[in-house]
Every structure is written in C-alpha cells, then in structure tokens.
C-alpha cells in the first residue's frame, strides 16, 4: 500500500490536487496506488519523466489528461511539458486501447502507397476514426510514423505483427481474423 501523496511534500496547492483526485482514474484507489508508486519510484531520477510515462502507459493502459496533470503537479513541471511528450510518442495514448490495436503507417512511402485508402476501408467497417476504439473494446485504430519497413509499403501493424503491401480488399479479412483471435479457440 502506498502512502497517500503529501500535497505539502510536493508543494502542491490543495484545490488543484483535490479536484484532480476526483477525476477518473485518479479517484480509483487501485489506479491511484499504481500511479503513486510509479511517481514515488522515479520522480527524483534524472530523466525520470519518460520512465514514469512508460510505466503508467504499460500499467494503467493510457495517460489521460487528468493523469498528465497529476504527473505535472507531482513533478512540478508545466502540464505542457507532459502533454508534449505524450503527444510526440505514438506508443503513448490518452484513452484506453482496445484488446487489439491496428496501426496504419503514415510515413511518406506508406502514405503514397495507399495507407489513406486502407484507413478508409477500416473506418467503413468499424465506424471509428483513428484514435478511437470500437464500442465493444475489441479494436483501436491508430496512425503512426514510419515503422522502418518502407519497402513493404503500405504497412499496417496489428499489435506486434506487421503486414506489408496491403490493399483495401485485404482489410476486411484482416479485421475478421483479429475478431476470430479475440473470440478465442474455434470449435
């Protein structure tokens, strides 16, 4: 069990801290405990911000605006610093991801090679935009920068698996296969 963070120790204003602690997921004891433990462990480490954000992303699953503000307060940094880092790196998300993530590479080779058409097809099927998760929490669509496989453009990355030279007609079976995986072993 992690001690309740001391506003005095962090030099925080009580109203700021109080309102943040009422925001989800900071108002959930379990999440707060995880976040506080991470902050306590790394807040004094040089360059600890990236470690903190990485740990929060992997343990909580996302770094929402309230979490960013909380981290900023505890580290005594401007919120813009935290937001800048979170928005720069595509592996950070501000919302929970679905069980599976489909990333569409928007690097130049992939963009020219047809990523917008692939994305459009996925959008038609799932009715969600990049950055959104399907209502059943199965699939999150994202765009990303070059993943270093330009010779296979256009590239899509499903979880950790890379698919190259895709055409829009390949998107429906790809999504079906993801759904099948999600539903577990078939009879």
Binding site for ligand FES (CB under 6 A): 105, 107-110, 146-150, 153, 155
Question: Minimum distance between the CB of residue 121 and ligand FES, rounded to whole angstroms?
Answer: 17
Question: Minimum distance between the CB of residue 174 and ligand FES, rounded to whole angstroms?
Answer: 17
Grouping H, G, I as helix, E, B as strand and the rest as coil, residue 147 is coil
- In the bound state with ligand FES, the residue whose beta carbon lies nearer, of 3 and 159, is 159
Residues contacting 55, CB < 8 A, separation 6+: 38, 42
Tell me if 168 sits within 8 A of 121, measured CB to CB: yes
Question: Minimum distance between the CB of residue 63 and ligand FES, rounded to whole angstroms?
Answer: 25
Grouping H, G, I as helix, E, B as strand and the rest as coil, residue 160 is coil
Tell me if 158 sits within 8 A of 174, measured CB to CB: yes
Question: Minimum distance between the CB of residue 182 and ligand FES, rounded to whole angstroms?
Answer: 26
Grouping H, G, I as helix, E, B as strand and the rest as coil, residue 150 is helix
- Identify which of 37, 48, 34 has the alpha carbon closest to the alpha carbon of residue 76: 48
- In the bound state with ligand FES, the residue whose beta carbon lies nearer, of 51 and 109, is 109
């Amino acid at each position: 069990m992690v001690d309740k963070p001391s506003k005095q120790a962090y030099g925080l204003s009580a109203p700021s801290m109080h309102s943040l602690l009422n925001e989800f997921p900071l108002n959930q004891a379990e999440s707060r405990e995880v976040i506080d433990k991470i902050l306590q462990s790394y807040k004094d480490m040089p360059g600890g911000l990236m470690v903190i954000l990485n740990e929060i992303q992997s343990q909580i699953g996302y770094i929402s605006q309230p979490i960013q503000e909380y981290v900023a307060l505890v580290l005594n940094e401007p919120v813009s610093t935290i937001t800048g880092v979170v928005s720069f790196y595509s592996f950070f998300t501000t919302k929970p991801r679905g069980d599976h993530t489909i990333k569409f590479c928007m690097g130049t080779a992939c963009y020219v090679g047809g990523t917008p058409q692939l994305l459009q097809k996925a959008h038609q099927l799932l009715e969600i935009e990049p950055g959104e998760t399907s209502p059943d929490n199965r699939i999150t669509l994202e765009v990303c920068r070059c993943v270093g496989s330009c010779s296979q453009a256009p590239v899509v990355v499903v979880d950790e698996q890379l698919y190259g030279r895709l055409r829009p007609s390949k998107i429906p079976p790809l999504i079906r296969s993801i759904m099948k995986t999600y539903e577990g072993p078939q009879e």
